[in-house]
Amino acid sequence: MTDPEGEILTLHEVATYLKAGKRTVYRLAQKVEIPAFKLGGSWRFRRSKLDRRIAESISKKKPEAE
């Protein structure tokens, strides 16, 4: 049974999930622009933290001028 809140994703899975390139995800992880951690030298990402970061990013954007 997989708990979606605690689901751990690989770099490749995050790239697919975000529809971004693997190099882009790698760069963002290195710059701590997305939440990530290293496990045995490989980047890992907790889905719930990624979703939270995306939601925060969306809510911070200012509404467009009408």
| Domains present along the chain, CATH in parentheses | 4-60 (1.10.1660)
Q: Is the dihedral of CA 9, 39, 41, 37 positive or negative?
A: positive
User: Which amino acid belongs to residue 58?
Assistant: I
What is the residue-level pLDDT of the chain in tens, covering all 66 positions?
456 668 999 999 999 999 999 999 999 999 999 999 999 999 999 999 999 999 998 888 766 655
Give Rg (Cα) of the chain: 13
Q: Which residues of 34-54 are buried (b: 16+ CB within 10 A; e: fewer)?
A: bebeeeeeebbbbbeebeeee
The model's pTM is: 0.80
Q: How far is CA 63 from the centre of its chain?
A: 24
